[in-house]
């Protein structure tokens, strides 16, 4: 029986307007090589100036991940040659990172697991090579060189592909919550490398293989599972695992060797001479701490206690901070949180494209939505009618009160009126009545359906059921 051991290295782009060591814009998608200057192009003699906002965001992330913040840390040069690295080195923090020793608690299959965070460091991104398969040429865009990143390195505490994916999901959610990263895996503002090894329990850890750039929750799982399986086969056949870096090919669902141990790069790290030591004083740490909003795990707990929501609903509503805020605002108006949760999760979400950003500007404002749920709860309209009016509200921005009047869709609630409707339906369906009386009881639903259809969903369905039973069975 082998146990699998996984450690993740996650690069997250910090949401600053300007780069880490110069004032060039970080805007994604600008024309290639327009956001560049002597500093980020690595001209000799150009000096880096540290972006303090990036440092604050990095500290915020580290605090949210329960790290210790070093009062003094240093920048280092990581040297290697690659066309997209014009300086010939990347400025990073190697010997002494600004944050260490954190953790994140995740839950997988109902079990809580504490995943240690070894370190977080600040570094600059490299440029982007664009390979053109038609011409066989490679173009380089330097807009990305010098964009601020944090690298979050976990301890080898993760035990399965599922845990790795859950960790990544939780981490992404926290970074978005605290506003330091946009969580966009496709555009590469969040990137993940997975280190994987296997060993027999109670024996030292096995040699790891590092899989580079697995940029979706699904692929992280697949790549890790593929790698675990292949390592088991290698060891099973009596061979040894050698350290190597690999790439995951999602089309073939396989990992491929990128560099073997012999080809490993020696980065010859050395202290960055152009930057002072990074000082992060206690005052800054305290200030940043104050800026951290309530995080998802605390929110879930509070939503369950304060609003008596099920865990499932609490989890769903806290996926995005904006969604959670929307729910709370709605509930502050109408005081029927459980109903709000239902209507938001089962109906309103259908009209939102992207859950992460969809509630920055909600499709309906909280107050009219509260009014809407209240109208259903008070029985002024049926759920069926409400479902039809919701998209109308979203489209026109009209208040529910106005829409109800305009469309004449108030709930039909009077017993007499409903009895009258039932008689109407029954008189038109003598054949079905005979069949029903002959024992075909499932036709009951047909009659209910007819009444609802006649009233376009406006009749109180409970009453229709009740009265129909009385009339059909009571006779």
Instruction: Enumerate binding residues for Mg ion (CB under 5 A).
Output: 9
Going by the DSSP 8-state scheme, the letter that residue 189 receives in this structure is S
Query: Can you tell me whether residue 91 is helix, strand or coil?
Result: strand
DSSP per-residue letters across 447-469: HHHHHHHHTTT-B-HHHHHHHHH
Find which of ligand ADP, Mg ion, Zn ion, none residue 22 binds, CB within 5 to 8 Å per kind: Zn ion
Query: Can you tell me whether residue 158 is helix, strand or coil?
Result: strand
Residue 11 and residue 153: Cα distance in Å, rounded?
A: 9
Would you say 16 or 93 has its CB closer to ligand ADP? 93
- Asked if 338 is part of the footprint of ligand ADP (rule: CB under 6 A), the reply reads no
**For residue 171, what are its two tokens?**
């981490």
Residue 350 and residue 337: Cα distance in Å, rounded?
A: 19
162 in Cβ contact with 190 (< 8 Å): no
Number of residues in contact with ligand ADP under rule CB under 6 A: 16
**For residue 60, what are its two tokens?**
């915020």
CB atoms within 10 A of CB 400: 24
Find which of ligand ADP, Zn ion, Mg ion, none residue 24 binds, CB within 5 to 8 Å per kind: Zn ion
Q: Report the nearest approach of Mg ion to the CB of residue 257 (Å).
A: 16
**For residue 284, what are its two tokens?**
């800054």
Q: Report the nearest approach of Zn ion to the CB of residue 46 (Å).
A: 9
Q: Report the nearest approach of ligand ADP to the CB of residue 50 (Å).
A: 22
* Member of 92, 100, 154, 455 binding ligand ADP (CB under 6 A): 154
* Member of 32, 42, 156, 293 binding ligand ADP (CB under 6 A): 156
* Member of 12, 54, 153, 409 binding ligand ADP (CB under 6 A): 153
- Asked if 210 is part of the footprint of ligand ADP (rule: CB under 6 A), the reply reads yes
Residue 274 and residue 255: Cα distance in Å, rounded?
A: 39
- Asked if 96 is part of the footprint of ligand ADP (rule: CB under 6 A), the reply reads no
Would you say 192 or 373 has its CB closer to ligand ADP? 192
Q: Report the nearest approach of ligand ADP to the CB of residue 193 (Å).
A: 7
Residue 98, burial from CB neighbour count under 10 angstroms (0-12, 13-18, 19+) = buried
Q: Report the nearest approach of ligand ADP to the CB of residue 2 (Å).
A: 12
468 in Cβ contact with 444 (< 8 Å): yes
- Asked if 355 is part of the footprint of ligand ADP (rule: CB under 6 A), the reply reads no
Would you say 147 or 452 has its CB closer to Zn ion? 147
**Interacting residue ranges for Zn ion, rule: CB under 5 A:** 22, 24, 37, 39-40
Q: Which residues bind ligand ADP (CB under 6 A)?
A: 5-9, 153-156, 195-197, 205-206, 208, 210
């Amino acid at each position: 029986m082998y146990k699998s051991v996984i450690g993740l290295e996650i690069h997250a782009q910090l949401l600053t307007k300007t780069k880490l060591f110069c004032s060039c814009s970080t805007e994604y998608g600008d024309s290639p090589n327009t956001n560049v200057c002597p500093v980020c192009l690595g001209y000799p003699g150009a000096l880096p100036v540290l972006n303090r906002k990036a440092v604050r965001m990095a500290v915020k992330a580290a605090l949210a991940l329960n790290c210790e913040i070093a009062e003094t840390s240093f920048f280092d040069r990581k040297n290697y040659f690659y066309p997209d690295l014009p300086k010939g080195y990347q400025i990073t923090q190697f010997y002494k990172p600004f944050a260490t020793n954190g953790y994140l608690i995740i839950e997988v299959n109902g079990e809580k697991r504490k995943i240690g965070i070894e370190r977080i460091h600040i570094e600059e991104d490299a440029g982007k090579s664009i390979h053109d398969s038609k011409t066989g040429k490679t173009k380089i865009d330097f807009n990305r060189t010098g964009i601020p990143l944090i690298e979050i390195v976990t301890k080898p505490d993760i035990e399965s592909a599922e845990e790795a994916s859950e960790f990544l999901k939780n981490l992404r959610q926290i970074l978005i919550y605290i506003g330091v990263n946009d969580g966009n895996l496709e555009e590469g503002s969040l990137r993940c490398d997975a280190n994987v090894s296997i060993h027999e329990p109670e024996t030292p850890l096995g040699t790891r293989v590092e899989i580079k750039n697995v940029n979706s929750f699904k692929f992280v799982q697949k790549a890790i599972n593929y790698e675990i399986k292949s390592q088991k086969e290698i060891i099973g056949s009596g061979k040894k695992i050698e350290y190597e870096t690999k790439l995951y090919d999602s089309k073939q669902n396989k990992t491929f060797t990128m560099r073997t141990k012999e080809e490993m790069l020696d980065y010859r790290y050395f202290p960055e001479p152009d930057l002072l030591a990074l000082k992060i004083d206690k005052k800054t740490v305290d200030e940043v701490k104050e800026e951290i909003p309530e995080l998802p795990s605390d929110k879930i707990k509070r939503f369950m206690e304060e609003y008596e929501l099920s865990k499932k609903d609490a989890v769903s509503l806290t996926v995005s901070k904006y969604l959670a805020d929307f729910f709370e605002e709605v509930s502050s108006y109408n005081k029927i949180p459980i109903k709000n949760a239902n209507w938001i999760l089962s109906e309103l979400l259908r009209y939102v494209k992207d859950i992460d950003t969809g509630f920055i500007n909600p499709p309906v404002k909280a107050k009219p939505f509260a009014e809407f749920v209240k109208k259903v709860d008070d029985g002024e309209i049926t759920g069926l009618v409400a479902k039809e009016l919701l998209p109308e509200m979203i489209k026109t921005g009209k208040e529910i009160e106005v829409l109800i009047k305009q469309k004449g869709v108030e709930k039909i609630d009077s017993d007499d009126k409903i009895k009258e409707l039932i008689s109407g339906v029954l008189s038109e369906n003598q054949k079905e009545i005979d069949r029903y009386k002959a024992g075909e009881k499932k036709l009951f639903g047909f009659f209910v359906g007819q009444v609802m259809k006649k009233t376009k969903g406006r009749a109180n369905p409970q009453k229709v059921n009740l009265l129909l039973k009385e009339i059909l069975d009571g006779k």
